[in-house]
Amino acid sequence: MPPYLLGLRFDGRRVVVIGGGRVAQRRVPTLLAAGADVLLIAPEATPMLDDLAARGELTWERRPYRPGDCAGAWLVQAATDDGEVNTAVAAEAEAQGTWCVRADDAELSPAWTPASGRVGETTVGVLAGGDPRHAAGLRDVIVAGLRDGTIEARHSRRRPVGVALVGGGPGDPGLITVRGRQLLAQADVVVTDRLAPRELLDELPADVEIIDASKIPYGRSVTQERINEVLVEQAKAGRFVVRLKGGDPFVFGRGGEEVLHCVREGVPVTVVPGITSAIAVPAAVGVPVTHRGVSQEFHVVSAHVAPGHPASTVDWEGLGRAQGTLVLLMAVERMRVIADTLMRYGRSPDTPVAVVQDGTLQNQRALMATLATVVDEMTATGVRPPAIVVVGDVVQVAHQIDMLNADMGRTP
């Protein structure tokens, strides 16, 4: 007969775990998270269980099982590697009317532990006829569907309200956060940027309204003021609005302006950070922004205003003297004056430079140069925005990785 699934609410009730090996290591943290008062009985335990005991999160009696250990337990877990001991534990629990889970034999176990997972307030438990691998596989599929919003998102009784400011990451749709994808799947309206991961929009239901709020360099664009107004108008109309932005909304994304406007208008806002292209795009071509013995600091600079311009607030002189990594965003059109300025203030003309166009996307391409040659290289290869420029010795790490991969016959 099929088992009857039941959700136990421990709330400080005693759970006795006999055995301190790998099975106990998997189950004890979940029991603790559910509020159980865990008594572990085992001569030895894994380092993780030992650490939990040292921190006072469970009680560990360092000895073998003996009759009477199940007294007062609400649930018993027989998790030793000795079948006779597990049989004795199960028999004692049965005699006193306590549920017992045997880890070694599903057929002899009066209770089974489902493969479980939790997403928000939803807990998933799967049993598959005593086959733990099958149950875990099904659990993973269901949990993944809940996390990315493809299961129940638009039918949830607790629909989000207001505006969610979601960082979509550097471009690859797989790099949006789990939380960002969840909220996107629940949107009534999506106000999207030019650099947001566009493939995600095709996954939305047909009734989701998509509003293009692109700012195209030297082309048509929607003003920031109008974007702010649209967010508030849609939210006050009772729709859940996702403002989908490229990268991280608080890293040169004007996210703070949008949040302030919504809050002033009484619209609640949820902020979901994104993976900023300033770090992700260099990483995509093997360039770390910091590296031991090479760079202990990095500076992220918006270069939409050229050095020397009255509107510039960047200390270019200080950056020229500094030895750390420079990550330049929106620098393509002004790279000549930027390179000249950095060299004038102390950066060596031989400083390595990497330029990555369309980072993390299928058409990503990169060039390696020096501060003295980068502008000519960019012109010769036709580099266009969006592109990230990295200045510093960390660029050489990518070259080392490429050389090692080549020696081993691998494609990075």
Within a domain: residue 91?
yes
pLDDT grade, residue 154 (50/70/90)? low
The reported pLDDT for the residue numbered 121 is 76
Residue 410 confidence (pLDDT) above 70:
no
Least confident of 12-26, 145-159, 180-194, 330-344: 145-159
What single-letter DSSP state applies at residue 247?
B
**CATH number of the domain that 43 lies in?**
3.40.50.720
- The sign one gets for the Cα dihedral 88, 91, 97, 98 is positive
Residue 321 lies in a domain: yes
Q: Taking 70 as the threshold, does the pLDDT of residue 240 lie above it? A: yes
Quick check: is 236 catalytic?
no
pLDDT for the residue numbered 407: 76
Instruction: Please pick, among 69, 148, 193, 358, the residue that the annotation labels catalytic.
Output: 193
Same domain, yes or no: 298 and 261: no
pLDDT tens sequence across 8-49? 999 999 999 999 999 999 899 989 989 999 999 999 999 999
Q: Which of 57, 89, 113 is the last residue of a domain?
A: 113
Instruction: Determine the pLDDT at residue 368.
Output: 96
Looking at residue 263, what is its pLDDT?
Answer: 97
Does residue 342 belong to any structural domain of this protein?
yes
Write down the residue that tokens 């003297």 correspond to. Answer: 321
Judged by average pLDDT, the poorest of 187-191, 199-203, 275-279 is: 199-203
**pLDDT recorded at residue 318:** 96
pLDDT at residue 220 is higher than 80 = no
The Cα–Cα gap between 341 and 79 comes to 67
pLDDT class of 400 with cuts at 50, 70, 90: confident
Average pLDDT over residues 374-389: 95
The secondary structure of 56-119 as a DSSP string is TSSEEE-S---TTTTTT-SEEEE--S-HHHHHHHHHHHHHTT-EEEESS-TTT-SB-PPEEEEE
Q: Which of 98, 113, 128 is the last residue of a domain?
A: 113
Q: Catalytic residue among 50, 104, 140, 215, which?
A: 215
Q: What percent of the chain has pLDDT over 90?
A: 71
In a shared domain, residues 290 and 176 = no
Contact 28, 60 (CB under 8 A): no
If asked whether residues 180 and 104 sit together in one domain, one would say: no
Q: Which two tokens stand for residue 146?
A: 């809940």
Least confident span in 41-50, 190-199, 306-315: 190-199
The pLDDT value recorded for residue 310 is 93
pLDDT average, residue stretch 200-218: 80
- Same domain? For 315 and 386 the reply is yes
For residues 270 and 293, state if they share a domain: no
The yes-or-no answer on residue 193 being catalytic is yes
The encoded tokens of residue 394 equal 């960390």
pLDDT higher for 119 or 191? 191
* CATH number for position 323: 3.30.950.10
Domain count of the fold of the chain = 3
Taking only the tens place, the pLDDT of each residue in 321-379 is 998 999 999 999 999 999 999 999 999 999 999 999 999 998 999 999 999 999 999 99
What is the secondary structure of 301-364 as a DSSP string? EE-SS-TT-TT----HHHHHH--SEEEEES-GGGHHHHHHHHHHTT--TT-EEEEEESTTSTT-
pLDDT of residue 347: 96
Q: Is residue 235 part of a domain?
A: yes
Put the strands of the sheet holding 163-167 in their side by side order.
209-212, 189-192, 241-245, 163-167, 269-272
Query: Distance between CA atoms of 327 and 331, rounded to whole angstroms?
Result: 10
Residue 147 banded pLDDT, cuts 50, 70, 90: confident
Enter the tokens of residue 124. 């998933």
pLDDT of residue 278: 96
Range of the domain at 345: 278-405
Count of beta carbons in the 10 Å neighbourhood of residue 242? 27
Q: Of 254, 275, 296, which residue is a domain's last?
A: 275
**Residue 250 and residue 293 in one domain:** no
Of the two residues 117 and 263, the one the predictor is more confident about is: 263
The DSSP string of 110-162 is SB-PPEEEEETTEEEEE--TT-HHHHHHHHHHHHHHHHTT-SSGGG-SS---S
